[in-house]
Structure 1
């Protein structure tokens, strides 16, 4: 068993395929594939699922077990090399997954907290589905993501509701301190956030209420969705924590959609490291809670100003105003 074969295997898992892994290792694709085949011959088993229709790189059960071993072997090689050369041993590496729809300010605060110290942190951002898959395959060690209330190897960090999001000049913004009904929102055009991890649940609740939203924008990126809302193309639903300061969050009765964010870790991860991660995540949440309160206050002030300075039709898209001027 050669270390270059182990490095090839780990790189394919890390970068999600032979093409990207070959580029990172400065090897040709045939050379990398040959290393992988040599390793599989040595082990007497296949490490990746190569069945037809499986476009993603997916480890077999043997591949999942061996991946953790391969990381340990490579790390021990690095430690031994450092000891013999009289160098400081390399820092242990933590692969941390981060949900792509978490607030940016919170993510920055978390990264600042976990990067300090004796652990080298590697960040993997993705959807809730991808993070779960990476954890199952042990491609990451832990993730801050959507969790169940009583999940195994998981701890809750916070819970938050989904709210309707409108621009300050919108007629519904004047009711930011009150609660709207789903039926009141039915007449409004809708901006769909395609990255929303709870879309199927929300759609089911709307159908149960006999309400169908008229989608006018489908946005893959959060900034595009919120920009469309700001420009008056429609409202959207989003977790309260990610609503920008320039927009207004409104509670909706009969719409009980919420998400629970927590720390989820792979089986066998050092408990001291889990506790350290949890404390860092909790501190980041506490640090950004004050900022979120300031954002809410800022949005209310902006809403009051707009109420006295904007015309009654301020909630309509800008393109309609341009059409009227013509």
Structure 2
């Protein structure tokens, strides 16, 4: 019977190059990051350090996720005799070695190991780990042969793990996209791309990119703006104006929209911005008043005006300016 196990070129590349003190696989979901760990790397790291001083740790979001994401896949490949379940004492036995399985949700449990000296540390879902827990575990790699390893899906560009990976520590990082897994059915890949298209999760879970959520709310519109542009004004709608007060690094902005009375559609009538630096309130209020009058003259009565609630002083002053200009609206 053929017992050959295929791995991807990306997984083979990681085995060749993951020879540093820290080794990480960061990227898309279902791209084979954890599979190569349970198939080869975790057993290999543990066995090559057998008999050496130090403890073996597996950390994860919780004890339950470690059991589900690491221990059970190990058992499926290597069997329950070589890999046991996690006991009530948080210890599993893997290839004859005691392995401490610590959930990062239990910070108190992790603190009990402040004096531990770790020879091998594997971190499942490393990006989701509490920073305090990561820092504590990081400080316990006490030997020249100590190795820390992990995998995870990227989150924001300011994440502490991203900063760590880009620092001058001895670290090897491999990046994965969904398309790096040649064993995933083409139909599954196509459907996942459809399901995440136009969202921040497409960048994170499909392309494996560190990506901030801000500014991506209307990405589908930005990618195909002509589809959403119309010269036909919808009637039987409510006209609303929104104001976002700017600051030192941002502009004031104002937008007028028409909202259908069944609340199933929104049409942007006009938007405008003004520099926040170098302008006084008189100039800003005159800009707003002129904008409102233009919308009323062109499209009809404005029913509502909303503004950033954090700037209550400006809102109160604007209400006075609206009354002075006989505009019957309250912010």
Kindly name which structure, 1 or 2, has the bigger radius of gyration based on alpha carbons. Answer: 2
Which structure features the higher share of helix residues? Answer: 1
Same fold, judged at TM 0.5 (above): no
* TM-score normalised to structure 1 length: 0.25
* TM-score normalised to structure 2 length: 0.24
- Between 1 and 2, higher relative CO (CA 8 Å, sep ≥ 6) is seen in 1
